[in-house]
Amino acid sequence: MEDARPRYSKRLRSGTRRRYQDDGISDDEIEGKRTFDLEEKLQSSRFTSDRVKRMEGKDFSLEYIQREGLRDPIIFEKPDGLGIKMPDPDFSVNDVKVYVGSRRVVDVMDVTTQKGIEMSMAQWRRYYETPPSQREKLYNVISLEFSHTKLENLVKRPASVDIIDWVDNMWPRHLKERQRDSTNAIIDMQYPKVQKYCLMSVQGCYTDFHIDFGGTSVWYHILRGGKVFWLIPPTPQNLELYENWVLSGKQGDIFLGDKATDCQRIELKQGYTFLIPSGWIHAVYTPCDTLVFGGNFLHSFNIPMQLHIYNIEDRTRVPAKFRYPFYYEMCWYVLERYLYSLTNTSHLTPEFQKYSLGIGLKRDPTTCPDSSLNGHIKEEGRDDEEDDDDDDKEEEEEEEEEAAATPPAKPGVKVHLTPFELEGLWNLLGKLESLPSHKKCVPAGIHNAPALLHDIRTLLQEHANDIPKLSYTGIPIVKWPKRPSWYQPPPPPSPVGRPRVSGTAPLPRPVKPPSSMSVLRRRRVRCKRCEACLRTECGDCNFCRDMKKFGGPGKLKQTCVLRQCLAPGLPLSAACEVCGEGNQEPGETPVFSLTLMECSNCAQIAHPSCLKVSGEGVVNKDLPSCWECPKCVLGKDSESESSGSDDDSVASASSLSPADPASEKRSHREGVGVGEGDEGGGGGGGGGEQEAGRGPGGAAQEADKIGEEQNVAFEA
């Protein structure tokens, strides 16, 4: 009888620890392919645990989070009551490209190898709109953070998430307001930019089991398509199993859901909204082309799990690039914000107090010209009622200034912390105290870190006996004071760049005059008919290995050596330099006198009939629309005649030294023709044919040079 236990491949192979990237999280690259049967995992009846809750949006409130702590995954089949805002369901990947920019570089995962590459949004749109039957590989975009783009205004996450997200409530708000860069470049990042992601997955995509970075929770809305999730609860046993599985490097051989306890498979349909709590291990499959909006957030109701996941990332050596940005800096600000909200004591620097808390913030008459600080002048034609209105307005503005500087807590009113917050803040305090000095990561906005730790410890001791029932108020403890209407945030920082010594101007780069051949190379385009144009990339040559889609840096920007066009032609925009007209129409009978020809010497493009020069040009039979124009042929003939007379005067010397280097060089230069004889015409064969095509002819050395320079620089 067949063994009922799940079977795993016992094939031994070398491998590296793998990391994954999904729903705004990312890990590093992996090698190898999976050996388990994914189709069997989709149909299996083993994953029937029942930990996922189904709720209505109106019930997902702050009071619910205070009571339950956001411990179990939640599905909302309808968006009603959640407070979310989404584009119409017909919103497409092309629309995403329009809103974030066609040049925006996105991280793309190769589903087969789980390796990451980069594409522009324009390249990704072309791939995504390719019919499924024509896609050679499966690619998945799962980390396009679109805050500070035009797309940001079309997407709003659940209202309760806005209330509890540390980025909005703990991180100094004036720093977030200074953010200008729409990418996730850490050098320009002013805050943890992980709140809004767009996920674009094609049919058949699969992301193996992972935990979202830093123990963040996830909100997830299916705009189009659908997803299948396998969910594993973050019990101590399952988390230990996950950590060992990651370190083993054998993720492709083992489906973690087979070994874990209480794994559940669920299907998310179009229009569903999903919340994944901190620490939940999950894998994702895409049954059809799908567009998802989601995001990550830290909160105060499961801090121990968030810290535990961060420790797992430390032990599994997740690179800093793929972790929650400014994690410990955020932890310091969390303690400071709770301390200020409950005791009116701030350990922020004066600048941070001014711009984030409003302490000491005064109206600046230079930025507010209509301010009452400029004086009150009664203009002609204004009556006393208007003056009274102005007085009322001044009083309102003064009240706004006072409100901005007023501490949030009310004296005599006892605020109770929830058990989840109390436990989490104790864990946070212990973690920051235990860190060595070089890893404490105290942010610039904290004035006195030791005093902050001392004060928060005293505060937590005072709240040790808080009554849980009185803490479920539905009102957040930490929130920013209201700003006056005239407030203007400080300007963003200047772009980060290499400092220039004052008084020195940048040295201009020497401009190299372009040769005729380099001009020729830039103008030529693919024929799209030859054998090379119809090939696929080899994936092995230097140019292929440099391409981003093969995992390279993309610096060379050259086509595969096997795909370099054998007969590059003139572009459709080419025009005669004499008459200004273009080439013949494709359907017309070809007439040589009306065909645009490009000279291989002077690079002039013209119709043969437009050149009023006696004599004939020499056509290159190997390269379309290429010749040596009559002017260059006549110039070469006259040079040959003059050099011939010189040769007569030194005939005796030449006969005595036939290997004279100067004579050899001159004869080589004079012998460069286009199609002159069998030897010259075949010179472009060998090397030139492997590059962009055969050279225009002539001596072998010149043909090789032309063949190399005609290598059309097509973007791979």
Vertex 485, ends 480 and 487: CA angle to 5°? Answer: 75
- Give me the DSSP letters along 151-179: GGGG-B--HHHHHH-HHHHTS-HHHHHT-
- Give the list of residues 6+ apart from residue 295 with CB closer than 8 angstroms, or none: 24, 157, 161, 194, 195, 196, 197, 218, 219
The pLDDT value recorded for residue 640 is 65
Residue 708 has pLDDT above 50, yes or no: no
Task: Give the mean model confidence (pLDDT) for residues 29-49.
Answer: 80
Diameter of the chain by CA atoms? 118
Q: In whole angstroms, how large is the CA radius of gyration of the chain?
A: 35
C-alpha span between 532 and 528 (Å, rounded): 8
Q: Tell whether the model's pLDDT for residue 670 goes beyond 70.
A: no
Q: Give SS3 for 301.
A: coil
Whether the per-residue pLDDT at 561 is higher than 60: the answer is yes
Tell me the domain boundaries of the chain: 38-324, 326-367+398-492, 516-642+665-709
Within 344-478, where are the H helices?
A: 350-352, 384-405, 419-434, 449-462, 468-471
Give 326 or 624, the one with higher predicted confidence.
326
Is 490:178 a contact under the CB 8 Å cutoff? yes
Distance CA 436, CA 418 (A): 30
Whole-model pTM: value is 0.63
- Read off the pLDDT of each residue in 75-80 and give the average, rounded to a whole number: 96
User: According to the CATH classification, is domain 326-367+398-492 in 3.30.470.20?
Assistant: no
- Sign of the dihedral through C-alpha 652, 658, 659, 663: positive
Q: Are 112 and 137 in contact (CB under 8 A)?
A: yes
3-state helix, strand, coil in the chain (%, to 5): 40, 10, 50
Give 697 or 448, the one with higher predicted confidence: 448
> Would you state the structure tokens that stand for residue 661, as one six-digit string?
């280097």
pLDDT at 494: 58
What class, spelled out in words, does domain 38-324 have in CATH? mainly beta
Residue 217: strand pairing partners: 297
pLDDT band at 545 (very low <50, low <70, confident <90, very high): confident
Section 528-545 average pLDDT:
85
Q: Count CB atoms within 10 A of the CB of residue 293.
A: 26
Secondary element (H or E) of residue 707: helix 700-709
Bridge partners of residue 76, in order along the sequence: 273
Mean pLDDT, the chain, whole residue set: 78
> Which tokens sit at 136?
């050679």
* Helices (H), ranges, 137-263: 159-164, 166-169, 173-177, 236-248, 256-259
Q: How high is the pLDDT of residue 305?
A: 97
Long-range contacts for 641-647 (Cβ within 8 Å, ≥24 apart)? 643/670
CA distance 642 to 647: 9
The DSSP code for 600 is T
Give the range with max mean pLDDT: 226-240, 481-495, 582-596, 626-640.
Answer: 226-240
Q: How many Cα atoms are found within 13 Å in the side-chain-facing hemisphere of 663?
A: 13
* CATH code, 516-642+665-709: 3.30.40.10
Measured CA to CA, the distance from residue 409 to residue 417 in angstroms comes to 14
Mean local confidence (pLDDT), 263-283? 96
Side chain identity, residue 557: K
CA dist., res. 422 & res. 462, Å (int) = 11
pLDDT score of 656 more than 70:
no
Structure tokens at 307: 């810290």
Q: For residue 28, which of 264, 160, 210, 199 has the smallest C-alpha distance?
A: 210
345-359, 519-533, 691-705 — most confident range: 345-359
Instruction: Average the pLDDT over each of 195-204, 316-325, 522-531, 537-546 and give the range with the smallest value.
Output: 522-531
Rounded Cα distance between 415 and 475, Å, is 10
Question: Hey, which residues does 294 pair with through a beta bridge?
Answer: 197, 220
Cα–Cα distance measured from residue 591 to residue 603, given in angstroms and rounded to the nearest whole number: 21
Q: For residue 505, give the 3-state DSSP assignment.
A: coil
pLDDT at 367: 53
The 10 Å Cβ neighbour count of residue 476 is 13
- 616 or 328: which leads in pLDDT: 328
Position 680 scores a pLDDT of 39
Residue 681: pLDDT band by 50, 70, 90 thresholds? Answer: very low
Tens-digit pLDDT profile for residues 368-415: 544 433 333 344 444 544 445 555 555 555 554 444 444 555 555 789
3-state secondary structure of 118: strand
Looking at the predicted structure, is the pLDDT value of residue 643 above 80? no
Query: SS3 sequence, 394-423?
Result: HHHHHHHHHHHHCCCCCCCCCCCCCHHHHH
Instruction: Tell whether the model's pLDDT for residue 79 goes beyond 80.
Output: yes
What phi and psi values does residue 141 have, to the nearest 5 degrees? -105, 115
User: Which is more confident, 220 or 548?
Assistant: 220
- 417-473 pLDDT, tens digit per residue, is 999 999 999 999 999 999 999 999 999 999 999 999 999 999 999 999 999 999 999
At residue 623, what is the residue type?
L
Average pLDDT over every residue of 254-266:
94
Q: Grade residue 195 by pLDDT with cuts at 50, 70 and 90.
A: very high
pLDDT for res 532: 86
Residue with more model confidence, 664 or 642: 642
